Amino acid sequence: MIVTLKNIKRIGELRFDIPDPGVWVLTGLNGSGKTSLFASIYRIHAQHAFQKFYKTSPLEHRLDSYETTEIEYEINKEVVKYHYGGQRWRATPRRNAKLFDQSPYPSIEYIEASSDRIEPFPYEIQPRRLRQAPAPLKSFLEYVLGDGKWGGLQYVNTQRGVSSDAYLIPYKVSGRNYYFSEKSFSLGELCVLKLAKKICAVEERSLLLIDEVEMALHPQAQVRLLQKITEIATEKNLTVLFSTHSATLIKNTSRKSLIHLKSGGNGVVSVINGAFPAQVLGDVAFDDELAADFVFYVEDKQAKLLAEQMFGMYMAHCHPDASYRPLYKVAPVGGFVQVLEMLNNSSSIFPNHVKRHALLDADVKTESLVEAQRQNNQTLLTLFNNSAGKMTYLPCTPEQGLIELFEVHATASVDVQNKINGMFPGHAINIRSLTTAADYLQLTKANLRDRAKDRLKNIVTKVSGVTGIDEIHVKRTMYNEYCKHKYSGNKIDDLRRLLGPIFNAR
């Protein structure tokens, strides 16, 4: 089922495909269309929804006007559109006015934060009229609000019409019965009570629209509220759209369940499914809520430089929308043992939405792991096993990868040599001269990685001296050229296969 809003308030267009059953957390800046969207969805089962949420001013057509507004519904590939005709909303074509009868939901409930209270008259509070609240309702309140007082919740049906149950919590003083009425409940307690009543009583397979009900709850209660809603939604096969600005809820929601409404400059609101939490927080939260979606542990600064260039190339090809790329941090830790220990012991440092991954130098796989297996080193083997699924190997040992590019590939290909020489436009760099210089060739340590470190340092120092560019930027440029050589053209699929499973994990 698809709902499309056009020319309503500040929204030029918002096209929303109602998702499958489950709990979906909907977020976005104020004015991005969350409440308008909820009102349009609610209209499927509530004829008064437009009148309630799209209030007009009949005496002045230029004030709060909906003359150009269009709400379109697509159900089972049939379409009906609603326009405001000055007095009421009209369906086009009229023959599709009953299209809502094909809705897959037996009911749609709209639940919003409200301080409305129901107070019983004194004469109504009589022992014979009091009833115990349903057990699921009490359980919901006890779990979310973390307070056992809700285990004694009672209600009385007042004389104020349908759905006029007034809730009370009994207590005793000197053997006499007294009651706390809804007047004594906080806003958060009232919001959770109203939500609990709806969700505990709703039919299976229904749709619930929950609009910022968590706003009066402290963070721990917000998390428990989301957990309880998810539990009931699973039991009843409900579809729940939960609108929120809460950084706590965003950080505790699985990425696959995040839906972000992002307003464009042209009034078109993009619907981002599976949004990255850190990107969402950067849009809706304060600076102190900013984090990363991924933290990568590497061995040293060389690995960090290489990894960042690989990520940059991957994002450019696989996440072309720069405003919706995942945020990541790369942290050099030390040797591979320290990297894996940090990987396995840092879960308490980060919120659940931050994924942690280790990127190890290639020689760990070809040398360290092989040696651990040969010696049957159970400590190291256990460390590797515990890191399975959270560990990936870089395509090379960084310094060795660059030296191989300079010494082997540049020698074998004039094209590669010319690209390397052109890394620093405006400066005459001849990589062949650098790798055949006498002082360079004298760097001959037996250990290949140590030799590569010495030789790379020699080249970087000379290039920095000629160009006046700092050594970090020189290395960054060289690793960028390495990635171009390794992954350009059809070889970009190799990079996708390496990094895709990491960045697409949910």
pLDDT at 178 over 90: no
* Whether residue 209 sits in one domain with residue 105: yes
Q: Are residues 383 and 442 in the same domain?
A: no
Task: Kindly state whether residues 100 and 230 are assigned to the same domain.
Answer: yes
Quick one: 407 and 359 in the same domain?
no
Task: Give the pLDDT of residue 350.
Answer: 73
Asked if residue 444 is part of any domain, the answer here is yes
Average pLDDT, stretch 124-138?
A: 82
> Which pLDDT tens digit goes with each residue over 18-29?
999 999 999 988
Model confidence, pTM: 0.68
Q: How far is CA 375 from CA 110, 172, 349, 379, 383, in A?
A: 64, 72, 34, 11, 15
Q: Examine residue 198 and state whether it is found in any structural domain, yes or no.
A: no
Q: How far apart are CA 278 and CA 22, in angstroms?
A: 22
What does the pLDDT average to over 120-131?
69
pLDDT at 266: 78
pLDDT tens-digit readout, 472-495: 999 999 999 999 999 988 899 999
Would residue 374 count as lying in a domain?
A: yes
Which pLDDT value is given to residue 318?
84
Co-location of 271 and 362 in the same domain: no
Predicted confidence (pLDDT) per residue in 435-459, tens digit: 999 999 999 999 999 999 999 999 9
What is the total count of domains within the chain? Answer: 4
Looking at the fold, whether 316 and 431 belong to one and the same domain comes out as no
The CATH number linked to 210 is 3.40.50.300
Q: Is the preceding omega at residue 93 within 30 degrees of 0, hence cis?
A: yes
Same-domain pairing of 316 and 259? no
The residue-averaged pLDDT of 120-130 equals: 67
Q: Are residues 307 and 278 in the same domain?
A: no
User: In this structure, is residue 104 part of a structural domain?
Assistant: yes
Task: Identify whether 263 is part of a domain.
Answer: yes
Question: Which of 220, 255, 288 is at the close of a domain?
Answer: 288
Res. 384 pLDDT band, cuts 50 70 90: very high
* Residue-range definition of the domain harbouring residue 376: 291-393
Query: Quick one: pLDDT at residue 293?
Result: 86
Q: Is 433 found in the same domain as 387?
A: no
Asked if residue 196 is part of any domain, the answer here is no
- Rounded to 10 degrees, the C-alpha dihedral 144/150/156/159 comes to -40
Q: Is residue 55 situated within a structural domain?
A: yes
Query: Is there a contact between 22 and 207 (Cβ–Cβ < 8 Å)?
Result: no
CB burial string 205-239: b at 16+ within 10 A, e below: ebbbbbbbbbebbeeebbbbbbebbbebbeebebb
Amino acid 291: pLDDT: 63
pLDDT of residue 73 exceeding 60, the answer is: yes
End residue of a domain, out of 364, 393, 422:
393
What pLDDT score does 123 carry?
62
pLDDT of residue 378: 93
Sign of the Cα pseudo-torsion (72, 73, 78, 81, in order): negative
Angle at the Cα of 334 (from 328 to 337), degrees rounded to 5? 100
In a domain? residue 313: yes
Tell me, yes or no, whether 135 and 240 share the same domain.
no
Taking residues 112-124, report their average pLDDT: 66
425/447 same-domain check:
yes
pLDDT at 289 over 60: no
Considering the domain architecture, whether residues 297 and 267 belong to the same structural domain is answered as no
Residue 286, pLDDT above cutoff 60? no
Task: Tell me what pLDDT residue 58 has.
Answer: 56
Is 90 exceeded by the pLDDT of residue 213? no
Would you state the pLDDT for residue 394?
Answer: 96
